[in-house]
Amino acid sequence: PNSSSSLAIAKEKTWPSNDEDVVRHLISLQKFDGLWNLSDSEIQNLSKKPLTSFQSNISNDSTILSTTIVILIFEMKFDSCKTLWSFMVNKARKRLTELLGDNGKLEQLINEIKSQL
């Protein structure tokens, strides 16, 4: 009887393999406010590095950092799926700009994280 529950757990842990599925998976994980708060394993799957390895002078907030990583991964790796994610990225950038106070800080943060990807 518990085979279906173990299947659900296995499915949850499986990271999608093709680009469009990864994009859709990430879109489904976006929070209502436009941010992504990904787990270490999700960041590891995306960037091949743990979240803790990313450093920024602008922010050390894990949600801000993981959102920045997702934005960059979309723009660098999944350009072919841009129609799927462009609205989500705009929403995330807008929210990050609000949190950081200005667009210059966001651009600096993006450049810092980009150099570590």
Structure tokens at 39: 């787990």
The per-residue pLDDT for 10 is 44
Where residue 15 falls among pLDDT bands split at 50, 70, 90? confident
Closest C-alpha to 116, from 80, 69, 66? 69
- Could you give the percent of the chain with pLDDT greater than 90? 85
CA distance 59 to 35: 14
Report how many helices (DSSP H) and strands (DSSP E) the chain contains, helices first: 6, 0
Question: What pTM does this model have?
Answer: 0.87
Residue type, 88: M
In angstroms, the CA 105 to CA 102 distance is 6
At residue 6's C-alpha, the angle toward residues 44 and 49, to 5°, is: 5
Q: Determine the Cα–Cα distance for residues 45 and 87; give it in Å rounded to an integer.
A: 23
pLDDT band at 112 (very low <50, low <70, confident <90, very high): very high
pLDDT tens by residue, 45-73: 999 999 999 999 999 999 999 999 999 99
pLDDT digits (tens, 9 = 90+) for 81-90: 999 999 999 9
Distance CA 22, CA 74 (A): 10
Per-residue pLDDT at 12 exceeds 90: no
